[in-house]
Amino acid sequence: MSDSFLYTTPLDPRAKPLIDELIHEYDSRYGTYFSAEGAAAELNRYPPEYFAPPDGNFLLLIRDGETIGGGAFKRYDEHTAEFKRIWTRHDLRRQGLARKVLVELESQAARQGYSRVYLTTGFRQPEAVGLYLGYGYTALFDQTVDPEIHKTLPFEKDVSHLAEPELRVASGNR
């Protein structure tokens, strides 16, 4: 059993399990709460080129030829990558795969010149909230109220320490 990362595009046939399971997961948790079209509308909101270098990237975690996880990022602003589509296969959860994907995405975002990560998750995804809080993300919402009030839950994290030393000096982040 060996895991490897593959940088590709949402149009890659190997991305289909990720996309299909995300649609199923979001629809089962939210139905038409956010959109009458369901999760497919959200996943199709951004064209594939948003998740391509130099401003973005799309990552699959592959084990023995099968897609078992993945994620992506796109440009949010000049210094910030917005993470999207972080997913692990439902039957392989609670094994640290989402964290593995998160670590790789953070490193890649830093390699592409970003110093900050921004992401959102839905209020019916407490596992994701736990992952982000447990891995150093700052909640940008009031955690003392019912999360449904917020609908989407935003987080941020500084990743400037992951940049190559020459990038930190050039950008003034020493």
Please list the rounded mean pLDDT of every run of 10 residues in the chain (174 residues): 92 92 82 74 86 97 95 97 93 92 97 97 91 96 90 95 64 48
Residue 171 pLDDT: 52
CB 101 within 8 A of CB 132: no
Q: How far apart are CA 6 and CA 69, in angstroms?
A: 10
> Per residue in 83-108, pLDDT tens?
998 999 988 888 999 999 999 999 99
pTM value is 0.88
Tokens describing residue 1:
């059993």
In whole angstroms, what is the distance from residue 118 CA to residue 149 CA? 20
Q: What is the pLDDT of residue 165?
A: 60
94 Rama class: left (phi>0) / alpha (psi -120 to 50) / beta: left
Here the tokens at position 146 are 């019912």
Q: What share of the chain is helix, strand, coil (3-state, %, to 5)?
A: 40, 30, 35
- Among 115, 117, 99, 133, smallest CA distance to 170 is for 115
β pairing state of 138-139 and 57-63: unpaired
Task: Please provide the size of the chain in residues.
Answer: 174
User: In which element (H, E) is residue 94 found?
Assistant: none
Angstrom CA distances, 32 to 26, 28, 129, 147, stand at: 9, 10, 21, 18
Between CA 61 and CA 110 the distance in angstroms is 19
Rounded Cα distance between 130 and 64, Å, is 28
DSSP state of 164: -
